[in-house]
Structure 1
Amino acid sequence: MDDDSRQPKIGQIVEILKGRDTGKLAVILSVVDERFVLIADGDKRKFDQPKKKNLLHLKLYDRISSEVASSLSETGRVTNGKLRYAVQSVLNEQNGAHEKGD
């Protein structure tokens, strides 16, 4: 791979590029190895049933949810509500940016 920007981080927001959930946002829960991560969105894909995804099928955002990252590092768990909130806050930001652009 290239530089550090492609390195996935726990709590990072990603957009799914391939598969059934194409176009949806999710949060990285853990890094399996250099190719795979576990993701969940707290809604369709709960914390207890994360999806294993190839990094090539994900678009990594610069945004990292500090609530999700700190919760996972402290307790090893995160609530589905926090996952939904992290995804929703990015969606709200994107919608706000589109409205300002018009």
Structure 2
Amino acid sequence: MIERNQAQLGQIVKVLRGRDTEKVAVIVGIVDERFVLLADGDKRKFDQPKRKNLLHLQLQNVISREVVDSLKETGRVTNGKLRYAVNKFVENEQAEALEGRE
């Protein structure tokens, strides 16, 4: 289980404040205990991550193994892997929402 305000590399987050409100992204870097770097592989690429305050994010209990492994091996992650992680999370969330309605 992930601690409430303990951000981890590869963790999926929902943006609560700012221009990207309601968007889903992946943590690709940790600046300090307050700020992280986000990318989604689409609008926000790995080479130009968004610096975001943790108070403006909703941390999800999902960590993308592909992203974490890639960051540990090479120090980078492809934008395709970021898009895959985000899309997989969104699809799972939509499937859970549909199951909840039935």
- TM superposition score normalised by structure 2: 0.95
Using the aligned pairs only, state the percent identity. Answer: 61
Equivalent residue, structure 2, for 1:34: 33
Structure 1, residues 49-88: CA drift from partner, whole Å, max 9, x if none? 0000000000000100000001001100100000000000
Post-superposition shift, 1:98?
1.2
Equivalent residue, structure 2, for 1:65: 64
Post-superposition shift, 1:5?
2.8
- TM superposition score normalised by structure 1: 0.95
Equivalent residue, structure 2, for 1:6: 5
Counterpart-to-counterpart distance in 2, 1:34 and 1:72: 19
> Which 4+ stretches in 1 moved above 6 angstroms?
none
Task: Classify the secondary structure of the residue corresponding to 2:4.
Answer: helix
Number of residue-to-residue matches in the alignment: 100
Which 5+ residue runs of structure 1 have no aligned equivalent? none
RMSD value, Cα: 1.1
Counterpart-to-counterpart distance in 2, 1:51 and 1:62: 21
Which 5+ residue runs of structure 2 have no aligned equivalent? none
